[in-house]
Structure 1
């Protein structure tokens, strides 16, 4: 018997394009200023007496708070709706940003920028990519590439606008203007309607579908079986036998343990943690994100260390951004074709490009070749950052995506705590950026090696399973 059946699927468009607008606003207002931190806050940090060590500690505090908030986003969604949580995070972020206008000490700056903005950024970042994942399935790569491309274009003009604003209005006037811009994230939150409101209803055919009557009969039979289970706990506790009292005591302890277990599971999804830790999409992606971030922070100082002037360093960083932008546009235009290639293969390819370009930059004394390698690093930067969220979406079910993204941010923070200072210590002890870059490149090489082995094993296992099934069908 074949019956018609309907199912709800993500829209892959429609209101989803307004979700892309929301994501662009959210990401731009919260992260576009991150690469221009020194440009924006340099005079202010001199005013309050904050040293370079304090600035490094501030960035570390911001990263840790962001990682913790991203990890706790999924448990918070069980207490309030997505838009309420996003709205609360937007309020905290804007208060933290606007509060810097009145700050006059390093402690206030730490609280406003490091803690408040870090915590709210982790929530907004996680929710933004979660809702994009819910709205898009087939066009997920296209949607993420579109959002990231527009954000990259805006980020290119941000330094120019900041210099102009600081020159005309000063630091505090610029902070007022930027606060007005960041408040547009309230508009973005209003657009973040739940994906289930816009699901498409499509018709599917399935065989042997249980009728409503058969389903009810199955449920009733289950209830009858449960009602036939004998009750070992007597109603009159005083007349209970020692065995019954012992059973009741053990049952009470078991209930308490289950209660604590449920509370723990409501905060941490064990299945997601196991899956992220045991696959390249978790450990490999977080290590790649960490390594890429540290390298990006080190490269300007490394170029100054080899006696490049300010104009040459600025040109090199522009080429890095150019390679990143061109790759984002390529992913946007070729998203349909790349969807058939495989996200993991593309990610490993980006890591290989990143490894070879970093090694090439260290091995050549030629300035032009170094600039070419820096451009290739921009290509690798794009694949590492854009495809990371697609890989996570492919590794877990849609309802667990928020938890997985939060755990990914937590892993990046966990790796940043010990490995970040360790790489900095290697650079200080050896007084050489080259040695530090070799350490970072070795992390890339380890990720590429083990992820390639994992991917080959999974593909070989899939082929064996398919061949085994075909032989069974032929025997029948």
Structure 2
């Protein structure tokens, strides 16, 4: 009699568990798809189906849906090409404006009649901000800002800053409006556009990023000359107003970068897994005489709600992961323990002096008697060769299989020679040819930055390593132009400036032989 009673209790408990599972499954379907499924299934038919499975007269289904997951599926095309166009135009605008700093410098000296060192702060800060903007964008994303919002806000702020620069009464105001505000806003757009583009593609990601990055060279080639033409017709104040209109288009490009919506995906498991799960739930139910079954019901219902809607706990966990990721960009002990970190950091800090060349080449062209339009064409030549050189270095590294440390060393030696040759160029043809050779050598390093970081620190530490290197390069972009201005104000000679540049890069070239030795000895991670 006791055994019969226990058997009846077990059947009742199994029946209750089965009905609970069916109700929860209907709740899932209603929350996810808007309907509860077949609600006409009776209790008897459900019990009969279970008994048939247990007796072996009915085969269980091969697949059953157990949970709902939200995933972001890159379209690899479609609207992604609109985002690719937005990233191309963003790179075109941002890089073109930054590359025009040397042309703007001459106009600002004429307008405010300030020293070269003080006036160069405008271009130095806007160039440095291009490296400092990445971590700032990560922080905004941490606080739940979408890349679309970041780009649209950045476009509005940068346009307002450029228009405000039209009315700047002195160079100090211009440093804040055009240097700080516009610089940080441009960095927001630049990093956000290139990051969200990666989310839209997987198989075609390299193609999409290649198309987007070609916008930088195109912008350098066209906007430098157009900026000089605008200054000659409308003056620097009118040009700032036109630049503001150009930057306002960044808001439109940002609007194109709509966030990808997570897709509800039902993951399936085999009937064996479901049977195992059912037996586990039954075992839990047997222990529920003191009310533990009620707690189990609540926990199961809570888990279903967290799958469909997302609980606060999950959100907090995601935020904690994001915080740790942002902190790891600067505090990763693995990076600092690497013996080659200091060597690589110093090399790229010294290498960043090459960015000052684009600022002072137009001024040098003006000092040797060339017209300002010819000086702008020199910068256009630099922009045109930058795109080609990055393709060439990729071919040499991936197809010809030349070690990347060797390529970096060769590029630094090329920079030393070409920079030292600038003071001997007295004609447009000679200066344009030298600038093209310099741009080729310099942009070898641009293309090799991430590859070197990945090789030295490993792919898993690439984000942390490149963030630290970027900060150091940002410091170089900001400091070297100012130091150049101080030297020129003291000597009134660009020859000394370019010889000093050559000496700085020479030190980087000497240090790069250490990387060549380390790679030959197998000290690179990759």
Instruction: Tell me what 1:442 maps to.
Output: 507
Equivalent residue in structure 2 for 1:188, among 253, 256, 260: 253
Q: Distance in 2 between matches of 1:168 and 1:216?
A: 80
Q: Distance in 2 between matches of 1:420 and 1:215?
A: 67
Equivalent residue in structure 2 for 1:77, among 141, 144, 147: 141
Contact 1:285 1:384 in 2 (8 A): no
Instruction: Tell me what 1:15 maps to.
Output: 79
Contact 2:96 2:220 in 1 (8 A): yes
Contact 1:354 1:377 in 2 (8 A): no
Instruction: Tell me what 1:86 maps to.
Output: 151
Instruction: Tell me what 2:93 maps to.
Output: 29
Residue 522 of structure 2 aligns to a residue whose secondary structure is helix
TM-score after normalising by structure 1 = 0.66
Q: How does 1:287-298 map to 2 (within 5 A)?
A: 287=349, 290-297=352-359
Instruction: Tell me what 1:358 maps to.
Output: 415
Q: How does 1:372-411 map to 2 (within 5 A)?
A: 374-388=435-449, 407-411=468-472
CA RMSD of the aligned region, Å? 5.2
Q: How does 1:168-183 map to 2 (within 5 A)?
A: 168-183=233-248
Instruction: Tell me what 1:255 maps to.
Output: none
C-alpha displacement at 1:116, in angstroms? 0.7
Deviations 1:246-289 (A, max 9, x none): xxxxxxxxxxxxxxx99974752257744555467973784376
Q: Distance in 2 between matches of 1:451 and 1:434?
A: 26
Contact 1:58 1:114 in 2 (8 A): yes
Contact 2:125 2:478 in 1 (8 A): no
Q: Does 1:269 align with 2:328?
A: yes
Instruction: Tell me what 2:172 maps to.
Output: 107
Deviations 1:140-176 (A, max 9, x none): 4433332232332243222332343334434333333
Going from structure 1 to structure 2, the CA distance change for 1:393 and 1:329 (only over 3 Å counts) comes to: same
Contact 2:139 2:326 in 1 (8 A): yes
Q: Distance in 2 between matches of 1:424 and 1:18?
A: 42
Contact 1:49 1:106 in 2 (8 A): no
Q: Distance in 2 between matches of 1:291 and 1:8?
A: 41
Q: Does 1:51 align with 2:115?
A: yes
Contact 1:96 1:116 in 2 (8 A): yes
Instruction: Tell me what 1:226 maps to.
Output: none
Q: How does 1:203-352 map to 2 (within 5 A)?
A: 211=273, 265=324, 268-269=327-328, 273-274=332-333, 278=338, 283=345, 286-287=348-349, 290-297=352-359, 317=379, 319-328=381-390, 348=405, 350-352=407-409
C-alpha displacement at 1:450, in angstroms? 2.0
Q: Distance in 2 between matches of 1:454 and 1:209?
A: 53
Going from structure 1 to structure 2, the CA distance change for 1:43 and 1:318 (only over 3 Å counts) comes to: closer
Q: Distance in 1 between matches of 2:478 and 2:114?
A: 21
Going from structure 1 to structure 2, the CA distance change for 1:329 and 1:146 (only over 3 Å counts) comes to: farther
Q: Distance in 2 between matches of 1:370 and 1:168?
A: 25
Q: Distance in 2 between matches of 1:209 and 1:127?
A: 45
Going from structure 1 to structure 2, the CA distance change for 1:89 and 1:449 (only over 3 Å counts) comes to: same
Contact 1:24 1:147 in 2 (8 A): yes
Residue 434 of structure 1 aligns to a residue whose secondary structure is helix
Going from structure 1 to structure 2, the CA distance change for 1:218 and 1:426 (only over 3 Å counts) comes to: farther
Count of aligned positions: 409
Q: Distance in 2 between matches of 1:289 and 1:216?
A: 64
Structure 2 unmatched ranges of 5 or more: 1-61, 284-319
Residue 190 of structure 2 aligns to a residue whose secondary structure is helix
Deviations 1:186-226 (A, max 9, x none): 11111223356699x9x9xx9x99946768999999xxxxx
Going from structure 1 to structure 2, the CA distance change for 1:211 and 1:119 (only over 3 Å counts) comes to: farther
Structure 1 unmatched ranges of 5 or more: 222-260, 463-476
Going from structure 1 to structure 2, the CA distance change for 1:197 and 1:43 (only over 3 Å counts) comes to: same
Going from structure 1 to structure 2, the CA distance change for 1:152 and 1:266 (only over 3 Å counts) comes to: closer
C-alpha displacement at 1:96, in angstroms? 0.7
Contact 2:95 2:216 in 1 (8 A): no
Going from structure 1 to structure 2, the CA distance change for 1:166 and 1:320 (only over 3 Å counts) comes to: closer
Q: Distance in 2 between matches of 1:390 and 1:407?
A: 15
TM-score after normalising by structure 2 = 0.60
Going from structure 1 to structure 2, the CA distance change for 1:108 and 1:297 (only over 3 Å counts) comes to: closer
Q: Distance in 2 between matches of 1:217 and 1:85?
A: 50
Going from structure 1 to structure 2, the CA distance change for 1:372 and 1:184 (only over 3 Å counts) comes to: closer
Q: Distance in 1 between matches of 2:63 and 2:516?
A: 44
C-alpha displacement at 1:457, in angstroms? 1.8
Going from structure 1 to structure 2, the CA distance change for 1:369 and 1:55 (only over 3 Å counts) comes to: closer
Q: How does 1:155-166 map to 2 (within 5 A)?
A: 155-166=220-231
Contact 2:329 2:468 in 1 (8 A): no
Contact 2:117 2:484 in 1 (8 A): no
